[in-house]
Structure 1
Amino acid sequence: MAFPTHNKAHFLLFITFLTFCTFFSCYSSITDTLTSSKYLKDNETITSDSTNFILGFFSPLNSTNRYLGIWYINQTNTIWIGNRDQPVTDSNGIVEIQKDGNLVILDKPKGIIIWSTNISSSAKSINSTAQLNDAGNLILRDLSSGLTIWDSFTHPADAAVPSMRIAANKVTGEKISFVARKSENDPSSGSFSISLERLDAPEVFIWHDKKIYWRTGPWNGRIFLGSPRMSTEYLFGWLLNPNDNGTAYITYNFADKNMFGILSLTPHGTLKLVEYSDKKEVLNLEVDQNECDFYGKCGPNGNCDNSTTPICHCFEGFEPKNSVEWSLGNWTDGCVRQEGLNLKCEIVKNGSSLVKQDGFLLKHNMKVPDFNDRSPVTQDQCGADCLANCSCLAYAYDPYIFCMHWSRELIDLQTFPYGGVDLFIRVPAELVAVAVPVNKKKKGTKKGFLIIAIVGGIGAFTFAICAYLLWRKCSPRHKGRHPRNSIVREHKQMKLDELPLYEFEKLEIATKNFHFGNMLGKGGFGPVYKGVMDDGQEIAVKRLSKSSGQGIEEFMNEVVVISKLQHRNLVRLLGCCVERGEQMLVYEFMPNKSLDAFLFDPLQKKNLDWKKRSYIIEGIARGILYLHRDSRLRIIHRDLKASNILLDGDMIPKISDFGLARIVKGGEDDEANTKRVVGTYGYMPPEYAMEGLFSEKSDVYSFGVLLLEIVSGRRNSSFYHSEDSLSLVGFAWKLWLEENIISLIDPEVWDACFESSMLRCIHIGLLCVQEVPKERPSISTVVLMLISEITHLPPPGKVAYVHKQNSRSTESSQKSHQSNSNNNVTMTDVQGR
């Protein structure tokens, strides 16, 4: 039969397409379900309805063994392995559902069952199906009852994904635990495992050959107390249910449905987290352990501090149990109380009036010891209860867990650089500043009570008189009728009861009548003066200018916001003054002024080597992290820039100027809107400058600009008069695209030894200034990137910068950098669209 030429072409195309489809169907399947009549061959797969998850056989690198696994997108992201300890040695394996309802891996030619779900049933025959759902869970169901009889989530391998559980039953002892691989290319069960323990105060433990290797510390409803890095955001989304029909379990999830994460236990006992957004990898993090993270590193009563040498030490009143071994670096025997410093509790209970009662040593930022007991009492009662119990050796208090106390040797103590809790360690009275007297029931007790009552009454009366006089002195009704004072009154007396009040006269004397020679700088708020108080304390006084673009609103905002904050990377507000129509804020004095005074000065920048710059970068990031995540309030600064970063005598960076800060609620991606856009041109992201939308990602953008300035030693505005009118952000992006980013590094600090660190910072900076806010990392992720816990950085997307500046904007930007100051604030007022 003859065909026209064009029909022959169509026929051949059809045959080719049909052949391709037939061939392709041998290697994949669009269905997500296995039945008793449908099995899975070695070269076939089933796919979840969303197509994100695939079930099939795979071989690790450099291996011919075949394993049944589930992977996300590709085999690199294997989240479950069925026959990890019983590999198929050839390609003859099949997966089928047998008559008893079990899902099995079968060596077809030999008829040998290699692996099975091992569901036991009294029925001889069960009709079941296995479905791969959109969460990546392989579920085996009994069709007659519709019940799940087995699923892969409750029989995990080494990886957890959202909605998977780490679980334990206190009654039965049953656990859902995870076991690491032997090696990257050997998926068989290794020597590390992870499980949920101590269910009265749940903790996650990593085990090594059945010995405790590492623990998270107890869960407080938000984070694990022994894992302060959780507060740096990479583990947000965790939820613990302490009692679900006798079973406690922990799981994690993402609020953003487009996010997906794989948390795995590595072959060497660390945690690794890989996150995806819209199927694109955005985070690859392995949480490295330091020596202090290993369980009981310094033995009983020994404390580990990774910032000291040696890392192990004994607290006051304790000494090494084995001084020889301790001096050799073997600390496993720990510490014991020094001779003659035994606790006096029993003696006190026997009624001796000659013995002072025990007290407590306070240790900050501590990982709480293992084996704690809990009681639902207040913090004050917690300490009193411990003191009254002779077996209580230490206590700690967390507002979510309440009272924790210990009655055995303190094991696995560690001092963190941040986070943790305050730990109170029981010691004899001679080791504490104030001892509590005991056995006070003697003659004269009533007399003593009477004296206390009289003194207390006089004190209360005196306090009331002083408070009234102070109120009269500070109250606007008793001052001149200055309009600013009227505003103060309208703002509920400015909540100044939360801050110490300074007298105008004393500040006037301290600053030598606000002499020009004492002026440290001048910003949008007004001038800042150095002052010296009568006791020699150096202060910085920020005085609201009568012509200031900022007013009482910004003043009040700074008082309310910063008075509630405490962090080593935030400037400390000492108090304020609202006398004589003035509004003044009093800060701790920063002898090295602001970062811009060093960074952009041709001579001073020589004092900022790369180690100092990287230290400053990390400090700023930790300060922002505190504002966004760790403080009692969630705060967006909105005016981060070099002139608002102050440097103390040790060059520790401190974020200042909270006049434009906002207290917000909700998640990190929640946006707020303002009709009045304020801040500094060049540091504001486009969504804020143009539309008035701000979020945590606004501060991330500003930090990115600041990071690029620190690495390059150039102002963001220094490019405004170049031929292309590029900003520093635009210039950096241009160099990145040209693969010449190394030329951005400040020649003053370039050092081949630190080149990778410098390039990494530039990379992070570009990630922070991406055009789409959602694509910018959170500040918690930025911190992890900076401390190199994230081993893989995604490539930056298109950055946000203004290519051409209009004359008004340029003028505003030029004015913003006329002088170096410790508090230079530029106000750019743009009406949001």
Structure 2
Amino acid sequence: MENCLLSFITNIFCSLLFLKLLILKSCSSTIITPSQTIISDGETLVSAEQSFELGFFSPKRSNNRYVGLWYKKTPDIIVWVANRDNPITDSNVTFIITNNGKLALLNNRTKSIIWSINTSFAATRNPSVRLLDTGNLVVIDGDKDIYSFNNNTSDDDNSDYLWQSFDYPSDTFLAGMKLGWNFETGSQRYLTSWKTDDDPSTGDYIYWLSPRGLPQLFVSMKTTTTTKMVIKYRSGPWNGVHFGGTPKAPVFPLFKSFLVSNKDELYYTFKANVKSAVTRVKVNPTGLSDRLVLYNRSTQWSVLYTVPYEPCDNYGFCGANGICRMNRDPLCECLEGFVPRSEEEWKMLNWSSGCVRKMEFDCRVDSGDGFVKLVGIKFPDFLEFWSNKSMSLAECKQTCLSNCSCTTYTNLDIGRGSGCMIWFGNLVDVRELRIKVGDKKTKEGKVSEEGIYLRLPASVLESIHASKWKRRRLKIIIIVSLITIIFCILVLVILLAFWNKKSKGRDLIQQESNEEDLELPLYDLATIQFATNNFSPEYWIGAGGFGPVYKGKLLTGQEIAVKRLSKNSGQGVKEFKNEVQLIAKLQHRNLVSLFGCYIQGDERMLIYEYMPNRSLDHLIFDNDRSKTLGWEKHFDIVMGIARGLLYLHRDSKLQIIHRDLKASNILLDNNLNPKISDFGLAKIFGDDDKREASTRRIVGTYGYMAPEYAIDGKFSVKSDVFSFGVLLLEIVSGKRNRRFNHPDHHHNLLGHAWMLWNEGKSLDLLHSGLKGSCIDSHVVRCIQVGLLCVQKFPQDRPTMSSIVYMLENEGATSPQPGQPGFFVERKSSDEEYHSKSTNGDSSYSLNSVTMTLPNGR
């Protein structure tokens, strides 16, 4: 009888325990109250639509435990941490809500509070907590209408929130979150980086919105020697749509930005524009800020853009009164009317000293000072300024002329073309925009002057105007002398315009094909639209150097990648024909296959084989994927690239120089076999051609270009060898050359590898995840070959046939490598944010020309 009673009690206890667990697991649709535990270690709280999850976690290489929020679909992406500066090691803890509405992390053994929110709510009777599908953890008043709260699908009305995690962000900026200031409470919302990738405690970098002048976004670094912040990056002011100076938006606007400014608050937020993708912003422990996106059909996040991305993005890169231009060499030049402060430093490519005026202002009323308009630039930082919302542009000009300290003026309200903004003193952090924007018409039909007016003395203006007049007069003479020829050309263009576009488009490809007896399939537009669901955003898989790339599926079941050339891309008919002819003729297992093309008027498309494993950079720069494959597979990829490049240089009918070899242009098939892609910039050499050429148009990607090409425009097969060497060292190390940083020096990856080689420590370059799967001598040989490829002078670099031989043969004798090209120690005198003085930053060197989003196709 006693045994039966004991069994009955046990069953009752187990049933109650199971019911409690069931309640906990179903809390995605339940309001949790103080009578319940939110979560214990091992349990999670999930939002109603399974978007986000709250629970305990440990970083990859840490035994510490934290309460955090992550995406249900990608649980390794932590977006918020409660106790980031209060780690725990005891698993006997619970996350609770108290009777007065406080969230707290409780140690069950000692009954002590490890972490809690520092807010209490006196008028709260029955507080409760809920995880929203926006990723916002909120505390609400239980006396409110719980039913309506549970069924509120907008998640935008936060009037009933007693507390929310969105007010206390970690390192991630989510859709609907506010970044900025609450003037009533004096509080500020900003992102703070993790200390390291394995330590979520408060790091050194913050991502914040500045209210000074016009609103701008900053990435700043904390310093141990001073309370001031060192600025790493500045976006440029809000122009009514987005922040000026930020990278170009993707082909499809995945999100829409908003800036709210009134007497109570100033904040920046964004909302998703499509349901097929999720996007977020993260500030990294290194100070880089990434805009990332996750598509519905994917489990891996892609980087839309990173800032700072290029040298001109670094705050004050060219010093005071200097302007940074990415398509110029050198990158920095002084503004009109200014000269370098130190000619010697500028000759050494150290621009941090900035520029000074050729001649100071006279400051008399009749001095004749005037202005030149600068367009297509990021506005200077607002260090010393004055503004007036009601003043016209003409009044703004006179106000500037009447003040001897005024250096520049512009419209305060860019969108409406009204108001006055005046700068005093030095102009800092000026750069040329990636896309120049001229005057635009507003909704009211008025002209919005998107530019600044730089004040110059009368003598400087006279010399500028005289120089312009000489150039203008020369143009007039040329135009008059060629007027007859131009007229004939116009007549010819008009006649050609009546030509049948469809026949012309097909003849454009077929003519080149017939010359080589080439039969290239021509796809019709309906077939391509069906395969890509009419170019749906959900089928968008990336963007190459000349336009978006879509995944598609033909009626036969064949998967394809469609490269749709953008009408305003840099690739014209010549580059298009170049890529079509090249890939159609080339037959090699390590080159991407071209199935066909489409051309009609301005619309041009290439149809490739689809590469399911995306591009090489997603493999070698992803720690988890890289170490699971092991060294042998990495070496197979190296050999595949080398053989493909050898075919281009020696074994194909014509010698071909790729000119844009990089990790994102190496695609991987089902078996991770590498295939070289993107031949739009390739150069063909015939049998009688010289084996070296030069150009004034430098094309390629920063970090992979050979010195003789980037500086003098000279290219040859040895230029591709240099790019291959960079790629080989990146594969071995798992590090990017252009973003490489080391705590003990400021060399790039090439310089770091060469230093280790000279010290006999070359194996230290190997990615830690590959060390257990390789033979040391094999790795050392690869590093040696990589260093031979990136030597400064082209004649010192080996040919691709020698490279393949050295890599394949263990006993092959290889020469000792010399100093790499671009082996320079980069300066890192970061800007110190101050209201009246700044210093430059020269942390990067060579300019880049093209930008490619590295997604699979």
| 1:684 and 2:525 aligned | yes
Contact 1:92–1:109 (Cα < 8 Å) also in 2: yes
**Alignment match, 1:221:** 240
Offset at 1:177? 0.6
Contact 1:292–1:305 (Cα < 8 Å) also in 2: yes
Aligned counterparts, 1:264-279, within 5 A: 264-278=282-296
Offset at 1:223? 1.7
Taking the aligned partners of 1:239 and 1:27, their CA distance within structure 2 comes to: 39
> Where do 5+ consecutive residues of structure 1 fail to align?
1-14, 437-505, 511-530, 552-593, 606-641, 643-679, 767-782, 797-833
Taking the aligned partners of 1:540 and 1:376, their CA distance within structure 2 comes to: 52
Q: Are residues 247 and 683 of structure 1, via their aligned partners in 2, closer, same or farther at CA, if it must alter by over 3 Å?
A: farther
Aligned counterparts, 1:62-81, within 5 A: 62-72=61-71, 73-81=73-81
**Alignment match, 2:25:** 29
Taking the aligned partners of 1:255 and 1:753, their CA distance within structure 2 comes to: 33
Offset at 1:264? 0.7
Taking the aligned partners of 2:498 and 2:854, their CA distance within structure 1 comes to: 50
| 1:366 and 2:386 aligned | no
**Alignment match, 1:259:** 277
Task: Report the secondary structure of 1:754's partner residue.
Answer: coil
Q: 2:459 aligns with which of 430, 436, 446?
A: 430
Offset at 1:50? 0.3
Task: Report the secondary structure of 1:432's partner residue.
Answer: helix
Offset at 1:101? 1.5
Contact 1:193–1:265 (Cα < 8 Å) also in 2: yes
Task: Report the secondary structure of 1:313's partner residue.
Answer: strand
Offset at 1:407? 2.3
Residues 313-350 of structure 1 show CA distances to partners (whole Å, capped at 9, x for unaligned) of: 32343234455655565544432223xx2213x312xx
Offset at 1:225? 1.6
Taking the aligned partners of 1:379 and 1:695, their CA distance within structure 2 comes to: 44
Contact 1:94–1:105 (Cα < 8 Å) also in 2: yes
Taking the aligned partners of 1:412 and 1:598, their CA distance within structure 2 comes to: 51
Aligned counterparts, 1:499-510, within 5 A: 510=484
Taking the aligned partners of 2:611 and 2:51, their CA distance within structure 1 comes to: 36
**Alignment match, 1:102:** 102
Contact 1:199–1:248 (Cα < 8 Å) also in 2: no
| 1:392 and 2:390 aligned | no
Offset at 1:122? 4.2
| 1:409 and 2:438 aligned | no
Residues 89-137 of structure 1 show CA distances to partners (whole Å, capped at 9, x for unaligned) of: 12122101112220101111121211111213446x7421110011111
| 1:180 and 2:179 aligned | no
Contact 1:58–1:75 (Cα < 8 Å) also in 2: no
Taking the aligned partners of 1:106 and 1:292, their CA distance within structure 2 comes to: 48
Taking the aligned partners of 1:330 and 1:399, their CA distance within structure 2 comes to: 34
Contact 2:611–2:667 (Cα < 8 Å) also in 1: no
Q: 1:160 aligns with which of 173, 198, 215?
A: 173
Offset at 1:550? 7.0
Q: Are residues 753 and 121 of structure 1, via their aligned partners in 2, closer, same or farther at CA, if it must alter by over 3 Å?
A: closer
- 1:337 corresponds to which letter in structure 2? R
Q: Are residues 177 and 602 of structure 1, via their aligned partners in 2, closer, same or farther at CA, if it must alter by over 3 Å?
A: farther
Q: Are residues 52 and 194 of structure 1, via their aligned partners in 2, closer, same or farther at CA, if it must alter by over 3 Å?
A: same
| 1:83 and 2:97 aligned | no
Task: Report the secondary structure of 1:713's partner residue.
Answer: helix
Taking the aligned partners of 2:496 and 2:191, their CA distance within structure 1 comes to: 62
Structure 2 length as normaliser, TM-score? 0.54
Q: Are residues 755 and 417 of structure 1, via their aligned partners in 2, closer, same or farther at CA, if it must alter by over 3 Å?
A: closer
- 2:425 corresponds to which letter in structure 1? R
Q: Are residues 303 and 81 of structure 1, via their aligned partners in 2, closer, same or farther at CA, if it must alter by over 3 Å?
A: same
Contact 1:205–1:215 (Cα < 8 Å) also in 2: yes
| Superposition CA RMSD, Å | 5.1
Contact 2:34–2:128 (Cα < 8 Å) also in 1: yes
**Alignment match, 1:201:** 214
- 2:234 corresponds to which letter in structure 1? R
Aligned counterparts, 1:518-557, within 5 A: 531-532=485-486, 541-544=492-495, 548-549=499-500
| 1:704 and 2:545 aligned | no
Q: Are residues 43 and 394 of structure 1, via their aligned partners in 2, closer, same or farther at CA, if it must alter by over 3 Å?
A: same
Taking the aligned partners of 1:195 and 1:37, their CA distance within structure 2 comes to: 38
Residues 540-593 of structure 1 show CA distances to partners (whole Å, capped at 9, x for unaligned) of: 841246974579xxxxxxxxxxxxxxxxxxxxxxxxxxxxxxxxxxxxxxxxxx
Offset at 1:224? 1.1
Contact 1:26–1:44 (Cα < 8 Å) also in 2: no
Taking the aligned partners of 2:132 and 2:288, their CA distance within structure 1 comes to: 29
Taking the aligned partners of 1:730 and 1:233, their CA distance within structure 2 comes to: 20
Residues 373-395 of structure 1 show CA distances to partners (whole Å, capped at 9, x for unaligned) of: 44456656654553454443112
Taking the aligned partners of 1:37 and 1:414, their CA distance within structure 2 comes to: 58
> Where do 5+ consecutive residues of structure 2 fail to align?
1-10, 146-159, 223-228, 438-449, 466-480, 541-546, 551-561, 566-570, 588-592, 598-604, 615-636, 669-674, 680-701, 703-847
Task: Report the secondary structure of 1:405's partner residue.
Answer: strand
Offset at 1:259? 2.4
Structure 1 length as normaliser, TM-score? 0.55
Q: How many percent identity over aligned positions?
A: 27
Task: Report the secondary structure of 2:140's partner residue.
Answer: strand
Deviates more, 1:196-205 or 1:394-403: 394-403
Task: Report the secondary structure of 2:268's partner residue.
Answer: strand
Residues 380-413 of structure 1 show CA distances to partners (whole Å, capped at 9, x for unaligned) of: 6654553454443112347416354312321212
Offset at 1:221? 0.8
Q: Are residues 759 and 69 of structure 1, via their aligned partners in 2, closer, same or farther at CA, if it must alter by over 3 Å?
A: same
**Alignment match, 1:246:** 264
Offset at 1:270? 1.5
Taking the aligned partners of 2:318 and 2:594, their CA distance within structure 1 comes to: 59
Q: Are residues 685 and 789 of structure 1, via their aligned partners in 2, closer, same or farther at CA, if it must alter by over 3 Å?
A: farther
**Alignment match, 2:130:** 131
Taking the aligned partners of 2:249 and 2:43, their CA distance within structure 1 comes to: 40
Taking the aligned partners of 1:28 and 1:749, their CA distance within structure 2 comes to: 64
| 1:116 and 2:112 aligned | no
Q: Are residues 422 and 434 of structure 1, via their aligned partners in 2, closer, same or farther at CA, if it must alter by over 3 Å?
A: farther
- 2:304 corresponds to which letter in structure 1? L
Taking the aligned partners of 1:282 and 1:299, their CA distance within structure 2 comes to: 36
Offset at 1:57? 0.4
Q: 2:312 aligns with which of 275, 292, 304?
A: 292
Offset at 1:162? 1.0
- 2:25 corresponds to which letter in structure 1? S
Taking the aligned partners of 1:753 and 1:37, their CA distance within structure 2 comes to: 63
**Alignment match, 1:418:** 435
**Alignment match, 1:169:** 182
Q: 2:609 aligns with which of 725, 733, 737?
A: 733
- 1:365 corresponds to which letter in structure 2? G
Contact 1:199–1:242 (Cα < 8 Å) also in 2: no
Taking the aligned partners of 2:42 and 2:187, their CA distance within structure 1 comes to: 36
Q: Are residues 601 and 156 of structure 1, via their aligned partners in 2, closer, same or farther at CA, if it must alter by over 3 Å?
A: farther
Q: Are residues 788 and 318 of structure 1, via their aligned partners in 2, closer, same or farther at CA, if it must alter by over 3 Å?
A: closer
